[in-house]
Chain A
Amino acid sequence: MTPTPSGMDIALSGAAVRFGTFQAVHPTDLTIEAGEFFSILGPSGCGKTTILRLLSGFLDPSEGEVRIGGQPMAGIGPSDRPTALIFQNLALFPLMTVWENVAFGLEMRGWKTARRRARAFELLDMVALGGQGDKLPSELSGGQRQRVAIARALAVEPAVLLLDEPLSALDLKLRQHMRAELKQLQETTGITFVYITHDQGEALTMSDRVAVMNRGRIVQVGSADDVYDRPATAFVATFVGEMNRLPGRIESVAEGRARIATAGGSFLAPNPGGLAPGAEAVLFLRPERLHLLAPGEAAANVLEGGLVRRDMEGAFSTLIVETGAGRLTVQRVNSGSGGLPAGPLRLGFADRAGVILPAGETADDAA
């Protein structure tokens, strides 16, 4: 086993990147704790890969500073940083055998052949590729190649492992399996993981904390629960998970909550931004927070509508319901009771279920 190297913390202070006139990353402050599994989530082109390149040392910030383990990284190239990078396409060296790939970093550090070969096979054992060392990368399956890339990065005993969407080439099943493996690896090694992805599922399942990025800015940093349940902006609300949108105007505010008038009625929901009455706003509502109300059943917020379509998806079913506020998506756990009552549907949701945010750019606009 690896003699658990401790991870290092990372600090960006005012770090920004400009390519010509294009501001790829706006001045950013960000702290990543030592030993943390930290994800940066965002659509393609949002600047997340640029941040990764700042950390790995392939790019210098146009302004601001990057510190790793407390040390300023200015003038230190990728070779000399305590980081190791796993590329999106893995970048395994096709002409070297698997073990030579793993031992490459050690070779560059001047290790003798026998010693680095032994170490490479140890690492390969660790990622369950013990017998594959003498093959070429092209002879391995996608998941195996993934593990080779991980072993190769771990060989140089980095304090920070940077992962650039490494699972995107794998099929769904393997991807889910590798998530668990990566998480476990991070826990056993104690290395700081910085994981770049546009796949919210990956970010939410593995990370201790997630940063959501859009247009060169980090718009929210928090735990998976924070980001999912308490989005800070319209963009985060719509980028992470499914979301119903009910635009309207604030009627009244009280105790962190507000009443918003929409085309489908007036509803009570949390108002984290402290919007004032009269403000244009949007009520965001997760499909699974909307319930079908039995006749006579009461709820904090109620609206009515007609069923347009029902998609049976196994564990749950998705209902598309036409309401006064537009078409809403409702997700319903499959209880085995089968079909729906005929006639109009009554939908209800709790007064903490949604969130009212100022109207702003959403993920659909960005895409």
Chain B
Amino acid sequence: MTRLRRSFGAPLAALIVLLTGIWVLGLIAAPQVIMIEQSLWKMDRPAGADELSVQIDRLYNRLDMLALDRAAARTLSTPSATDAKLAQIDAERAAVAAEIADLETRESTPVRTWTLTNYAQMGQAHLRIFAKTILAALAVTAIAFAVCYPIAFAIAKLEPPRRAALIMLALVIPYAINELLRVFAWQMILNYGGPLNAALGLLGIGPVPFLESGSGVFVAMVYAYILFMVFPLYNVLETLDMNQIEAARDLGAKTWQIHRRIVLPHARPGIAVGCIMTFMLSAGSYSVPYIMTRGTAAPWFAQLVYNRFFQASDWNVGAAYAVSLLAVCTGFVFLMMRLLKVRLRDIAK
């Protein structure tokens, strides 16, 4: 803190700390904490609600008894005795009625109960969708890596630098074009009456309901997120000294050995970034399944989360779903960092 004040002066230092604080605590940390908190409770009937209802029943009985007593009291001999008795009974009836009202509000007002049942709510069907989404995201990541590694290597190491720069610029264009448009293009292609089915029709196949079967989601996801793998890989491979590759070859390494021992180890930070981004985007993708399935195929997990919040209005369960997704993604980040032996510092480009 003293260093900060010495570098910027007290007012500026205070502003810096304030702005960072608002961002890190107010925008990043607090919402996550509140979301996790929300996932851990639900509104429930209060504890002891059963005893309360027994008690309420007993009081209603008492009220009925008092009504009988009151009817009996009218037949009393002296009017004064009658009035006294009636007053006494009415007072008691009022008291009992008040107690009933009180107990009934206590019985019906839900209280906040800490519980893990929100997570257990997921049930068989939703759990299966969750698992399907995660597995699909893993598959998208693996495919993206397998497709992009040769591309990134070829551009970074085999093309002359000027051409490489041009190729990367050309790739920036589909990368920068809105995700929705990239998905929409595939929705058109895979549509029942789309060009792919038209082409298959010429071969006497189909038409295949790509969108309705849900397979279209996967195809579009690979397409939408593949470029998030190319750029990190290219960036690290570009920094690899060509002499490293030649030295290995000179010492007798075959092509696959060069990749295994020299290129891949060097590319670790880029692999980590590419895989984390691709996985995270696929696992949390709302747009791709939303547009590609048109509601005809089974939903994906992000859609479930959306529905919990904005259709079922069950925010606690929704929060639990969101936290589950967050947990998987965080786990994946740590797994990649551990597996590839990179630190978060190496990851930022």
Tell whether A56 pairs with B250 under 8 Å between CB atoms, given A93-B262, A95-B265, A95-B266: yes
Let me know if A87 and B243 touch, CB within 8 A: yes
Evaluate contact between A91 and B251: CB separation under 8 angstroms.
no
Q: Find A87's partner among B247, B253, B262 (CB 8 Å cutoff).
A: B247
Q: How far is the CB of A273 from chain B (nearest CB, A)?
A: 41
Residues of B within 8 A of A (CB): 241, 243-244, 246-254, 257, 261-262, 265-266
Residues of B within 8 A of A1 (CB): none
Residue of A nearest to B266 (CB): A95
Complex contact A156–B252 (CB within 8 A):
yes
Q: Is the CB of B243 within 8 A of A108?
A: no
- In the complex, the answer to whether A91 meets B243 with C-beta atoms within 8 Å is yes
Structural contact, A85 and B254, CB atoms closer than 8 A: no
Cα(A105)–Cα(B246), bound, Å:
12
Q: How many residues of A contact B (CB 8 A)?
A: 26
Q: Select which of B241, B252, B265 is within 8 A of A109 by beta carbon.
A: B252
A84-135 residues at the B interface, CB under 8 angstroms = 84-85, 87-89, 91, 93, 95-96, 104-105, 107-109
Interface class of chain B by DSSP: helix
Determine the distance from Cα of A85 to Cα of B257 in the docked complex, in whole angstroms: 18
Nearest residue (CB) in A for B341 is A95
Instruction: Tell me the minimal C-beta distance from A91 to chain B in angstroms.
Output: 4
Considering residues A78, A109, A156, which has the most beta carbons from chain B within 10 angstroms of its beta carbon? A78
**Residues of B contacting A316 with CB < 8 Å?**
none
Is A152 on the interface with B (CB-CB < 8 A)? yes
Name which residue of chain B comes closest to A100, CB basis: B261
Q: Are B246 and A87 in contact (CB under 8 A)?
A: yes
Q: A58-B246, A78-B246, A93-B262 are in contact. Are A108 and B241 (CB under 8 A)?
A: no
Whether B250 lies near A104 (C-beta < 8 A) is no
Contacts A93-B262, A95-B266, A108-B257 given; does A77 touch B241 at CB 8 Å? no
A128 to B247, CA, bound (A): 23
Q: Does chain B have a CB within 8 A of A79?
A: yes
A89 touches B243 (CB 8 A): yes
Contacts of A109 in B (CB 8 A): 252
Known: A85-B250, A91-B244. 18 other contacts (CB 8 A): A56-B250, A79-B249, A83-B250, A84-B250, A84-B251, A85-B246, A85-B247, A87-B247, A88-B243, A91-B241, A91-B246, A93-B247, A93-B261, A95-B266, A104-B261, A105-B252, A108-B252, A109-B252
Query: A57–B250 Cα gap in the complex (Å)?
Result: 8
Given contacts A95-B266, A104-B261, contact A79 B243 (CB under 8 A): no
- Are B252 and A79 neighbours in the complex by a CB distance under 8 Å? yes
Smallest CB separation, B271 vs chain A (Å): 14
Q: B254 to A108, Cβ gap below 8 A?
A: yes
Q: Which residues of A contact B241 (CB under 8 A)?
A: 89, 91
Q: Please judge, given known A-B contacts A89-B241, A95-B265, whether A108 and B253 are in contact too, CB under 8 Å.
A: yes
In A52-93, the 8 Å CB interface with B consists of: 56-58, 77-80, 83-85, 87-89, 91, 93
Partner of A78, one of B250, B265, B266: B250
Between B251, B265, B266, the greatest number of chain A beta carbons within 10 A of the residue's beta carbon is seen for B251
- In the assembled complex, the Cα of A83 lies from the Cα of B243 at a distance in Å of 16
* A58: B residues at CB distance < 8 A: 246, 249-250
Q: Is the CB of A104 within 8 A of B265?
A: no
Residue of A nearest to B265 (CB): A95
Chain A positions within 8 Å of B244 at CB level: 91, 93
Give the docked Cα–Cα distance between A104 and B249 (Å): 10
User: Is A77 touching B249 in the complex (CB atoms < 8 A)?
Assistant: yes
- A77 CB contacts on chain B under 8 angstroms: 249
* Alpha-carbon gap, A25 to B130, bound state (A): 64
Greatest chain B CB density within 10 A among A83, A96, A104 is at A104
> Which 3 A-B residue pairs are closest in the complex by CB-CB distance?
A105-B251, A91-B243, A91-B247
What's the least CB distance linking B250 to chain A, in Å?
5
The CA of A80 and the CA of B246, in the complex, are separated in Å by 13
24 contacts between A and B (CB under 8 A): A77-B249, A78-B246, A79-B249, A79-B254, A80-B252, A84-B251, A85-B247, A87-B246, A87-B247, A89-B241, A89-B243, A93-B248, A93-B261, A95-B265, A96-B261, A104-B253, A105-B251, A105-B252, A107-B261, A108-B253, A108-B257, A153-B251, A155-B251, A156-B252
| Bound complex: CA A170 to CA B248 (Å) | 23
- Whether B251 and A152, one on each chain, are in contact in the complex, defined by CB atoms closer than 8 angstroms, is yes
Q: How far is the CB of B257 from chain A (nearest CB, A)?
A: 6
Q: Nearest Cβ distance between residue A29 and chain B, in whole angstroms? A: 25
Do the beta carbons of A156 and B249 come within 8 Å of each other?
no
- With CB as the reference atom, state the residue of chain B lying closest to A104: B251
Q: Which residues of B contact A104 (CB under 8 A)?
A: 248, 251, 253, 261
Q: How far is the CB of A33 from chain B (nearest CB, A)?
A: 23
B250:A79 contact, CB within 8 angstroms: yes
Q: How far is the CB of A39 from chain B (nearest CB, A)?
A: 20
How many Å lie between the Cα of A57 and that of B266 in the bound state?
Answer: 25
CB distance from A215 to the nearest CB of B (A): 24
In the complex, which residue of chain B has the Cβ closest to the Cβ of A57? B250
Cβ contacts under 8 Å, B243 to chain A: 87-89, 91
The CA-CA distance from A77 to B251 in the complex, in Å, is 11
Bound Cα distance from A83 to B246, whole angstroms: 13
A78 vs B244: C-alpha distance when bound (angstroms): 14
Contacts of B252 in A (CB 8 A): 79-80, 105, 108-109, 156
**Least distance between A344 CB and chain B CB atoms (Å):** 57
Contacts of A85 in B (CB 8 A): 246-247, 250
Look across to chain B and name the residue whose beta carbon is closest to the beta carbon of A110. B252
Q: Which residue on chain B has the smallest CB distance to residue A53?
A: B246
Closest-CB distance, A228 to chain B (whole angstroms) = 32
Q: Which residues of B contact A57 (CB under 8 A)?
A: 250
Q: How far is the CA of A83 from the CA of B257 in the complex (A)?
A: 19
**Complex: how many Å from CA A56 to CA B250?**
7
Q: Is the CB of A108 within 8 A of B251?
A: yes
Q: What residues of chain A lie closer than 8 Å to B251, measured between beta carbons?
A: 79, 84, 104-105, 108, 152-153, 155-156
A105 CB contacts on chain B under 8 angstroms: 251-252
Alpha-carbon gap, A88 to B254, bound state (A): 22
Nearest CB on B from A77, distance (A) = 7
Residues of B within 8 A of A88 (CB): 243
